Amino acid sequence: MSRASVTVLRGFSRQRSRWRPSVVERARARIAAGGNVLDVPEPLLVSFVGGSQGRWTVDRMTTITGPGLPEVERLAVLEGRDGQATSGVWTLRGVTSNERYVERRERVALVERQQGLDRADATCAALIPITKNLAWWELTQDERRQILEARSRHIAIGLEYLPGVSRRLHHGRDLGEEFDFLTWFEYPPDHTTAFEDLLARLRATEEWSYVEREVDIRLAR
């Protein structure tokens, strides 16, 4: 593990393994308490452990591009340092962060429209780990923003599917993990077609031409 990764992980030593509010939920709480919608949330370490145990049953695993992952039956989603001690066939880790390419008006729209995770009716889920190529990371942040939103409309497309499809983004690159991003989605069964449409539109964008590895894992509980 790199020195940068160790530095990031030190901040999680007192976190417990339980489902915490999403970035959007915490933003709403800050607004209700008189805070600013743009306040930076506390980062949260999340481990996705694939194996024979866990709350979520794996329906299917599809390799979209690049190397895949070994097949598993169940997935456990663990928050905090406790997830590091859990064994499985594979473990993917990421940390939540502020939305790095989101402008104020987009952040406000996300907070107003997105619902939290762990809704009673959201019994379907998807974990989509991706890695982007070197060409993407050689771009400046302004250049990446132009591709992501100005030309690919990533944020605008996602907003169209709220509040039915909830999401939480985890950064793996910050920890030196094998995937740059782990995106977790939850939605009710009657939003499955809408979710497929969301993915198809995102994968057709210029941004996705920079993706060199992607696995699509579908789950239910």
Predicted pLDDT of residue 105: 79
Q: What is the pLDDT of residue 36?
A: 46
Tokens (6 digits) for 217? 């894992």
CA distances 206 to 67, 98, 102, 128, 153, Å, are: 21, 23, 18, 18, 10
Tell me, what's the pLDDT at 103? 67
Kindly write down the DSSP assignment for every residue of the chain, as one continuous string. Answer: --HHHHHHHHTTTT--SSPPPPHHHHHHHHHHTT--TTPPPPP-EEEEEEES-SSEEEEEEEEEES------SEEEEEESGGGGG---SEEEEEE----TT--HHHHHHHHHH---SS-TT--EEEEEEEEE-HHHHTS-HHHHHIIIIIIT-HHHHHHHTTTTSEEEEEESGGGT-SSSEEEEEEE-GGGHHHHHHHHHHHHTSSGGGGEEEEEEEEEE-
Which of 96, 19, 93, 89 lies closest to 61 in space, CA to CA? 89
C-alpha span between 1 and 146 (Å, rounded) = 32
- All structural domains of the chain: 3-220 (3.30.70.3420)
- The per-residue pLDDT for 210 is 98
pTM confidence score: 0.80
Percent of the chain with pLDDT over 70: 78
Predicted pLDDT at 143: 97
Reported residue count of the chain is 221
Banded model confidence at residue 208, pLDDT cuts 50, 70, 90: very high
Model pLDDT for residues 144-161, shown as the tens digit of each residue: 999 999 999 999 999 999
- pLDDT tens track for 18-74: 444 444 455 445 444 444 444 556 899 999 999 999 999 999 999 999 999 999 999
Res 15 pLDDT > 60: no
